[in-house]
Amino acid sequence: MPQPAGAISREMIQLQQQVAQLLQAQQDLRSTVDTNSAALKTLVQQTAESVNKLNGEMVAVQRTVQDAQANSGSRIDTLTQQTQGLSDNLQDVQARVAKLSQQLSDVQNLLQSIDSKLSGGTPSVPPAAGGAGTSGGTPAPSGAPPISADTLYQNALRDYTSGKYDLAHQEFSDYITNFPSNDLASNSQFYLGEIAYAQNNFKGAIAAYDTVLTNYPKSFKIAASLLKKGMAELELGQKTAGLRDLREVVRRFPGSDEARRAQARLR
């Protein structure tokens, strides 16, 4: 039997009311989603702006740190050059004092010999030894340069510390040529490397430092030569060789100034 018309009408009304409620709920949900989306979009934009601002500040900080490191490195290199110059001057003075002491001892021995012979009644005085009054760093008169070893080295060192690299290079080279067996020949070879390093000729610097390490194994510039060779290798991008030489400085010369500089560069 078909349902009465009144019952169908009530069901239709209820169905319409439910549809209306669903539509209203859908609109409310859409409004909520739109509101949340707008808030989320604003939050994302604010976060992006904060990140960009932070990145800018980080770049500024990095530039400040790099500038500070560059300035500090330049000051350290200058102080290192001055310290090396003072150290070499001191070594030169000590060498000259030792030579004067030896010459004085030779003269005293000669006088004692003469006194003993005179007191023994010997009529003739023996001639003095040929090398008693000569300087250990001055070559024979034949072919001798017009300047002494000490003066040539001091001039070269002065020109190096004052930045006259071309003149200092020539003077140090002349020293090695004319006084190859002198105690300061290894220093002169080391400073040829320092001049090349200061002029960004890192290949030439490595070759000069290698000469010190090979030809002057007892030089007190061995640690400095090995350190600067490693630093020059790093400047050329030879990372493996540079790190190896810096670690060798730390291993062979613990506690030295060169070892501390090598450790700082390794860090």
The answer on pLDDT for 23 being more than 90 is no
Instruction: Give the end of a domain, one of 20, 43, 66.
Output: 66
Query: What six digits make up the tokens of 265?
Result: 């560069």
Query: What six digits make up the tokens of 213?
Result: 């390490």
Do the domain assignments include residue 156?
yes
How confident is the model at residue 238, as a pLDDT? 96
Do the domain assignments include residue 159?
yes
Name the nearest CA neighbour of 161 among 194, 209, 201. Answer: 194
Task: Clarify whether residues 154 and 40 are in a common domain.
Answer: no
Do the domain assignments include residue 191?
yes
Could you tell me the pLDDT band of residue 5, with boundaries at 50, 70 and 90? low
Do the domain assignments include residue 164?
yes
- Burial of 93 by CB count in 10 Å (0-12 exposed, 13-18 middle, 19+ buried)? exposed
C-beta pairs of 154-162 under 8 Å, 24+ apart in sequence? 154/89, 154/92, 156/188, 156/191, 157/85, 157/88, 157/89, 157/191, 160/81, 160/85, 160/191, 160/194, 160/195, 161/81, 161/82, 161/85
Do the domain assignments include residue 242?
yes
Domain holding 255: CATH number? Answer: 1.25.40.10
Name the nearest CA neighbour of 90 among 214, 220, 229. Answer: 220
Task: Clarify whether residues 255 and 161 are in a common domain.
Answer: yes
d(CA 177, CA 169): 12
How confident is the model at residue 29, as a pLDDT? 85
Domain span at 212:
149-267
Do the domain assignments include residue 113?
no
Instruction: Give the end of a domain, one of 50, 66, 82.
Output: 66
Average pLDDT over residues 12-29: 86
pLDDT in tens, 174-200: 999 999 999 899 999 999 999 999 999
Do the domain assignments include residue 266?
yes
Task: Clarify whether residues 43 and 153 are in a common domain.
Answer: no
Round the average pLDDT of the chain to a whole number and report it: 81
Instruction: Give the end of a domain, one of 66, 99, 116.
Output: 66
Our count of domains for the chain comes to 2
pLDDT in tens, 219-264: 989 999 999 999 999 999 999 999 999 999 999 999 999 999 999 9
Residues 6+ apart with CB under 8 A from 1: none
Query: What six digits make up the tokens of 197?
Result: 């390093």
Do the domain assignments include residue 53?
yes
pTM above 0.75, yes or no: no
pLDDT in tens, 108-136: 666 665 655 555 554 444 444 444 333 44
Task: Clarify whether residues 156 and 264 are in a common domain.
Answer: yes
Could you tell me the pLDDT band of residue 208, with boundaries at 50, 70 and 90? very high
